[in-house]
Amino acid sequence: MAAGSGGSAMLDLKAGPMLEHDFEPLFKLAHMLKDVRHCLAAAERLGARMVLGETAERAYSRADRKGLGERDFAAVVEVVEER
């Protein structure tokens, strides 16, 4: 992915910790969840729907309920791997 159009600074930053399950917080999952919810609320006020944002909110919510809110937002991989 890194060599193609999927390459990004975020991929460089988070791929390793996600693969290694190293969730030392750089940006807490609880903060990401808050931000995603703010984004969805703004979209709703504008009459827009953000399907991927809604999917992200569900995944981050599940991770938060699992007690991962204080870990790095990369910990969402714990929920993704359950599927």
- Is 4 among the domain residues? no
Q: Is residue 33 part of a domain?
A: yes
pLDDT the model gives residue 8:
85
Q: 15 is in which domain, residue-wise?
A: 9-80
Three-state SS for 72?
Answer: strand
pLDDT at 26: 94
CA 72 to chain centre: 9
Q: Is residue 2 one of the residues assigned to a domain?
A: no
> Which residues, in sequence order, are CB contacts of 46 under 8 Å at separation 6+?
none
> Residue 32 falls within a domain, yes or no?
yes
- Between CA 71 and CA 68 the distance in angstroms is 5
Per-residue pLDDT at 3: 64
How much is the pTM? 0.87
Distances (CA, A) of 17 to 23, 37, 48: 6, 24, 33
Average pLDDT per consecutive 10 residues, the chain (83 residues; last block may be shorter):
72 91 96 98 97 97 98 96 83
pLDDT value of residue 11 = 87
CATH number at residue 52: 1.10.1040.10
Residue 41 pLDDT: 98
Number of domains in the chain: 1
Asked, for residue 71, whether it belongs to a domain, the answer is yes
